[in-house]
Amino acid sequence: MNIREEIKEFIREKFLAGSVSEVLENDSKLLDEQIIDSSGVLVMIMHIEKTYNIRIDDSELIPDNFNSINFLAELIESKIGAQKMLAKDY
């Protein structure tokens, strides 16, 4: 399962339980369409940090980073890439 699929599955389980009519695309506006709210963002952060063993910095806590599955995946991929680069330097 890739990052986008994993995030989509997590959102379906945690935020859309029982809502089969909700269409969730990678570019769905998670915040704008109120699929997740501010407390949901905190749940997403905890899930992402635990699942991908990364840390979301305070400077990255902006709505744009959490407003779609694509944006979330890009943030995660960039953090994983940065970790790999640091590990490679050692």
- Per-residue pLDDT averaged across 74-78, rounded? 95
Is 21's pLDDT higher than 80? no
How many whole angstroms separate alpha carbon 15 and alpha carbon 77?
23
Is 90's pLDDT higher than 80? no
72, 11 contact by CB (below 8 A): no
Q: Specify the pLDDT at position 20.
A: 57
Domains and CATH numbers, the chain: 25-82 (1.10.1200.10)
- Per-residue pLDDT averaged across 1-17, rounded? 92
CA 80 vs CA 32, 38, 41, 56: distances in Å: 27, 24, 20, 11
Predicted TM-score (pTM) of this structure: 0.86
Diameter of the chain measured on Cα atoms: 49
Is 15's pLDDT higher than 60? yes
Residue with tokens 């949901």: 40
